[in-house]
Structure 1
């Protein structure tokens, strides 16, 4: 098999409608502005690239009702992690046959609710979870989530979810004994897998498990490739359609007999469709000899920017003073918590004349911001979302 992967290209993902709207408003609190037309465009590009794969939007990335409704109208499926997300999807027009209950940690009562609502596809990675599904969703289809240990993603997901490869056959057999229908496997190569070539090694390992399971007599048909589709945070990435097409080609080559392919994009569907309008609260130096200024924004880790944990996601910030001389800054949020620091290990270069009261735009923040925002830590309101 000769493998060819697309080359990363500069993708700056400026969202002009969002920029224009933010410029025309005077926000008195941090606000995410989300362009649904960009989301629809992202969905279409993923669909072209992934071909016959079923796209199930990962609702946790951004659960804004208008967004869910628009994707449902586009025929998109949904990866739901809770009863609340299932209720949201159903209330916005999603068909239960297009919803996958993808969390491997579920309450029995929530499994029963989903089954009663018509959901028939469930994830599991442990014996006890299969027991719960069998009791509360008899005869349902299940897929077994596998650990991915060779991830090259910026944010690997290698511990909390999934079972070891050698355990998969045991779980498949148990599902059959319980009267469930084990239809396939799922996995997640890691959040922000920036290049399609990074899928090769993990998929090769997972394909060996797939082939072993089919050789053991399990009539598997479904490969759920999860998420990992990247957004632009400063490092160049491939165009959405070409990236998705390269991944789909790998899956086709490595997983013979897979008649159903699912993908669960979250970040890749919505990140570049949104930007946060924020404000500088304070610029200071701790001493006259400090090389770095401290820049405090009115939004921080507890009010929407949780993905700056470990400085894993590095947001791009536009200021009204861009174009002049810059200097290193430690970026922090407004709360009275010493952990509310966004970037310190790698200070951010911001204009030297940046000052309190300056309005800033935090780009590509459509994913994992409103959903991570606290309900009111320190009295700061949760992140508001305006939909265009």
Structure 2
């Protein structure tokens, strides 16, 4: 069933309340498929991709598959003209199965097995990322086929995930790697960085871009081959329960910094969360309830081992609401279905009195939810219902 985006408008987070139309649609899907569910709206994916493309008009966007690696997401973005950021052989298989042209992909995992390199090359992806001499050496057998980006480290204590703690090298090390690559006849295409997940301060990007520009100038001064690409990574923020800067405003200083790069430098990015976070809504039902320490505990059929895994792995704070309307609210706890005591979705939350079978709705559930869900305790993962797909596809359910 095709649902118009104007009707099923889940991305609004100014209020957690659901409209009557939204409530009816959710109930219809639960009657048809049961619960728990994840409702994935392809129109919101398109909207977010277009918004970031508009905000970064001179940047080629490579969607990072990691937060939501569904075939429909790949197909939707492929139709939008997106490129893709791969990190594993499984992700290579996914884009290959969706007929993504290999020239629209890059492989950005800084640490790879030889099999990972060979799988990507067999598919046709030839751009890789390295950040140390051990990794650079792995490409000697493939130097006639590959182009490499050197990943720099820019620590960011403000980000939820400071990815430069685990990956990246200093500017001095980068210059040493570029010199060694010249000695080994390996083509260094450019530089890359990632300022960290949910970065709310665009100055972090500006500082990293300026440093990369200086490295590019030093490369010329050292008579090393000029660099032609800068990958500014991902990390563009989205609003969960607190507002972040609108993306157009956020990207203004980034564009100003990019404008200072040589005209010959191509700029790419690796957005993930920004594209998909708003695109998915979760639907869980109350399995049972009990009163404990003055609060009502509601046990849901989805939890942190399932769609709410981001509460453990991603530090996300998903906006939650219910279909029940009642002015009287009570201190409540939402717990997951497993026998593990840490499986708690929300505490000290004010909710109307719920009955068994009532539905609890989570918004902003597109990033690092189904991707990191498990079947722990043999509770099955939520089924994903696809909304507003391309006319090339049929609306369907993914298990």
Give the TM-score taking structure 1 as reference length. Answer: 0.86
Q: Is the 8 A contact 1:59 1:79 kept in 2?
A: yes
CA distance in 2, matches of 1:104, 1:124: 5
Change (3 A) 1:369 1:164: same
Change (3 A) 1:328 1:210: farther
CA distance in 1, matches of 2:311, 2:222: 44
Change (3 A) 1:319 1:18: closer
Give the deviation of 1:198 after TM superposition.
5.2
* Deviation by residue 1:336-355 (Cα, 9 ceiling, x = unmatched): 22332344xxx442314134
- Describe the SS at the equivalent of 1:305: helix
1:383 aligns with 2:390: no
CA distance in 1, matches of 2:129, 2:366: 26
From 247, 255, 260, give the equivalent of 1:240: 247
From 23, 30, 43, give the equivalent of 1:37: 43
1:229 corresponds to which residue?
A: 236
1:194 aligns with 2:192: no
Change (3 A) 1:136 1:317: same
1:4 corresponds to which residue?
A: none
1:302 aligns with 2:305: yes
Q: Is the 8 A contact 2:282 2:307 kept in 1?
A: no
From 270, 274, 278, give the equivalent of 1:272: 278
Change (3 A) 1:256 1:318: same
Give the deviation of 1:292 after TM superposition.
4.4
Give the deviation of 1:270 after TM superposition.
0.9
Give the deviation of 1:11 after TM superposition.
5.5
* Deviation by residue 1:183-241 (Cα, 9 ceiling, x = unmatched): 21111111112353554455555555454445434411211111111222011123334
Structure 1: stretches of 5+ with no match in the other structure: 1-9
Give runs of aligned pairs for residues 105-184 of structure 1, distance below 5 A: 105-136=111-142, 138-184=144-190
1:103 corresponds to which residue?
A: 109
Q: Is the 8 A contact 1:124 1:144 kept in 2?
A: yes
Give the deviation of 1:102 after TM superposition.
1.0
Give the deviation of 1:329 after TM superposition.
3.8
Give the deviation of 1:90 after TM superposition.
1.9
CA distance in 2, matches of 1:132, 1:377: 37
* Deviation by residue 1:262-313 (Cα, 9 ceiling, x = unmatched): 1111110011111011122333343xxx254434322222213222127821
1:83 corresponds to which residue?
A: 89
* Deviation by residue 1:30-89 (Cα, 9 ceiling, x = unmatched): 221111111111111111111121100001111111120121122110001111111211
CA distance in 2, matches of 1:229, 1:86: 24
Structure 2: stretches of 5+ with no match in the other structure: 1-11, 388-399
* Deviation by residue 1:367-388 (Cα, 9 ceiling, x = unmatched): 21121112x2111113321111
Change (3 A) 1:321 1:72: same
* Deviation by residue 1:310-363 (Cα, 9 ceiling, x = unmatched): 7821000111235534444444322122332344xxx44231413432201110
Q: Is the 8 A contact 1:50 1:244 kept in 2?
A: yes
Change (3 A) 1:18 1:144: farther
1:339 aligns with 2:338: no
From 313, 316, 321, give the equivalent of 2:316: 313
* Deviation by residue 1:65-119 (Cα, 9 ceiling, x = unmatched): 1120121122110001111111211221211011001111222122112112211
Q: Is the 8 A contact 2:163 2:195 kept in 1?
A: yes
Change (3 A) 1:209 1:384: farther
From 234, 254, 267, give the equivalent of 1:261: 267
Change (3 A) 1:107 1:49: same
Change (3 A) 1:311 1:228: closer
